[in-house]
Structure 1
Amino acid sequence: MAVISRTLGKATGVGALWRNRQTLLTLVQRDLAVKYQRSVLGYFWSLIEPMGMAGIYYFVFGVLYNSGGKQVEGGAYPVFVVVGIFAWQWASSAMSESTRSLTSQASLITTMRVPREIFPVAKVVARFAEYAAGLPIIVVFALFYGASFSWTLLLLPVAILIQTALLVGISFILSSINVLMRDVDRFMRLAMRILFYAAPVVYPLSKVLNAESAPGWLKDLYMANPFVGIIQLHHSVWNSHELPGWPLFWYSTSISFALLFVGWALFRSLEARVLKEL
C-alpha cells in the first residue's frame, strides 16, 4: 500500500499532466485514429452525425412546427439548432466515452507510469477536436443566414473553457465510479437522453422561462443544470441579440469549476481502489 501511495503521489496532479502532455496528445491521436480506422469517410463522420441530427430537429421543429422561417432569439433557427447540436455532441460523446475510459484501457493504465487522469481527459480533448472540426460549418451556416458577427465571437473561447472544465470534472467522477460500479455506464445512456432535453439545445431558453404551465420549482430545477448556461453561451456567440444573464453565466461557471475540483479530488481518493479493481 505504501508503494502504491508513493506512486500515486508522483503520478497525479496538474503538474504531472503538464509534464505528460505529449502522452496526452498521443492518446488523443490514437483515439481519433482507432475511431475512424477502416472508414471510407474518416473524420467526416464527426461532422455527418451532428449535421444529421440537426437536420432531423430542423425538420421536426422548423418544418412541422413552422419555426424554420421564424427568428429564434433574434437569429435564424437553422443556425440556432446547428450551434446547439455541435456543442451538445461534444458534451454527450465526451461524457459517454470518458465513463468507459478506464475500464476499456485497463492494460495501459496498469502498465504505463503516467497520471491516470490523463485517460478521461484524453476523451474530452478528442471529442473537442471533433467539435473544433465542425466550427467552419457553423460559420458557413451563420454567413448563409445573414448572421451579423460581433464582439460576441470573443465569447467562444470562454464557452469552450467553461464546458471543458465541466466535462473534465464529470469525466473524473464517472470514469472512477464506473470501475467500481459498472451500472454507471448503463445509467449514462438514459442520462444523456434526459440531459439533451433538459438544456436549450434545439429550443430557446425563453420557451421554458415563459411557460405558464410549468411550476416554479420545475423551472428552478431546470436552471440548476449547468449545461443550460453553457449551451446558452454557445448560442450567444453567434447571436448578439440574446446574451445570457450574468446570474446564469456565473452560476454555470462556478458549478463547472467546482465540479472540476470535486471530480479531481474524488478521482485521486478512489485511485488506489480503482487500480486494484483493474
Structure 2
Amino acid sequence: MTSPSPAPEAKRIFPKTTGIMALFRYRQPLSVLVRRDLAVKYQSTTMGYFWSMIEPLGLALIFWFIFGVVFGREGDLPPGVGYPIYIVSGIFAWQWFSSAVNEGSKSLTGQSRLITVMKVPREIFPVGKVFARFADYAMGFPILVGVAILFGGTFGWNMLWLIPALITQAIMLTGMAFIVSAINVLYRDVQRFLTLFTRLLFYSSPIIYPISRVTEALQEHTWVLYAYLANPMVGLFLMHRAAWIPELTPSWWQITSTVTFSVVLLFFGRWIFHRVEPKVLKAL
C-alpha cells in the first residue's frame, strides 16, 4: 500500500499593495514596537530623549564651525540666511535617514525572539525602526524652529515643503529597510557594507555644503552635474531645505525623480522581503 503524497506547498502571492493594508490592520502592535524601541534606547541614559536633539545638534555645530567659520561659506547662501539653519536642517534629516537604515538592517536579527512569538506580519519590524527614528526627528523639531528663528529661516507657505519631504523620506527608508533587514539575516557582510554606503551618501549629498558650490565646480562638466543633481538624495534634502529657505526649492524634475525612485524602491524592497522571507525565518 502506497503512502499518500504530501500536499503541495501553497504558492506565496506577492501583495501588490506592498502590505500597507496589513500594516494598517496591525497598527497597534506596530505602535507598541515603536514605543518599546524608544524606551529601550533611552532607558539607561540620564538625559533620555534629549539625546535625540543633542546628538544631531552637536554634529551640526561641528560642521558649522568648519564650513561656516573656518572656511566662511555663508556667502554661498541666499542673503540673510545663516549657515546654521542650512546645516541643522540637513543634519536632522540625515540623522533620521542613517539611523533608520543602520538600525533597520538589524531589526530582524536583533528581535528574533519577538518575531517567533508575535503573530504579526514580519514587515512591521523594519517599519517600526523607520517610525521610531522619525520620532527622534520629531522630538528635535523645536531645535529646527529655534535655529530658523535665529538664523534667517522663512516661516510661511514654504513650510508646507515639510509634508512631501517627510512622506518621501519615509517611503524611501521603508523600501531600504525592507531590503537591508532581510538580506542582513542571510549575509552578515551587509552591516559592514552599510557603513561605507552611508558614508558615501553623506558626502555625495548636499548636507554639509551648499549645492551652489557643486554647480559652480561642475559647470564645465555638464553630464556630471546632471548626474549629481539627478541623485534622489539631492532632491530629498532640497525639499527639506525649501521648508526653511524658499530659494532652495528643488526643480520639478528633481522632485519627480526623487518621488519616483522612492516609490519604486518601496515596491522593490517589499518584493525582495517577500521573496527571501522563508529563508530568513529558517535562518532566524
TM > 0.5:
yes
2:128 maps to what in 1?
Answer: 122
Tell whether the 8 Å contact from 1:71 to 1:77 is kept in structure 2 after alignment. Answer: no
2:216 maps to what in 1?
Answer: 210
Which 5+ residue runs of structure 1 have no aligned equivalent? Answer: none
1:198 maps to what in 2?
Answer: 204
1:72 is matched by which residue type in structure 2?
L
Tell whether the 8 Å contact from 2:76 to 2:213 is kept in structure 1 after alignment. Answer: no
2:4 maps to what in 1?
Answer: none
The correspondence for 2:265, drawn from 259, 262, 266, is 259
1:131 maps to what in 2?
Answer: 137
Residues 166-220 of structure 1 show CA distances to partners (whole Å, capped at 9, x for unaligned) of 0000100111111111100111011111111111111122221221477444334
The correspondence for 1:82, drawn from 81, 84, 88, is 88
2:156 maps to what in 1?
Answer: 150
Distance in 2 of aligned mates of 1:253 and 1:266: 20
Aligned residues: 275
Question: What is the TM-score of this pair, normalised by structure 2?
Answer: 0.91
Tell whether the 8 Å contact from 1:150 to 1:240 is kept in structure 2 after alignment. Answer: no
**1:178 is aligned to 2:190:** no
1:113 maps to what in 2?
Answer: 119
How high is the sequence identity, in percent, across the aligned residues? 48
2:77 maps to what in 1?
Answer: 72
Whichever of the two has the greater Rg, that structure is: 2
Tell whether the 8 Å contact from 2:104 to 2:181 is kept in structure 1 after alignment. Answer: yes
Residues 18-54 of structure 1 show CA distances to partners (whole Å, capped at 9, x for unaligned) of 1110101100001011001121000011111100000
Tell me: CA distance 1:212–1:154, structure 2 relative to 1, closer, same or farther (3 Å): closer
The correspondence for 1:35, drawn from 41, 51, 60, is 41
2:165 maps to what in 1?
Answer: 159
Return structure 1 stretches of 4+ with deviation > 4 angstroms: 1-9
The correspondence for 2:107, drawn from 93, 96, 101, is 101
Residues 42-83 of structure 1 show CA distances to partners (whole Å, capped at 9, x for unaligned) of 001111110000000001001110124x36145221100000
Distance in 2 of aligned mates of 1:216 and 1:67: 24
Tell me: CA distance 1:29–1:62, structure 2 relative to 1, closer, same or farther (3 Å): same
2:25 is matched by which residue type in structure 1?
R
Distance in 1 of aligned mates of 2:197 and 2:144: 27
Tell me: CA distance 1:76–1:264, structure 2 relative to 1, closer, same or farther (3 Å): same
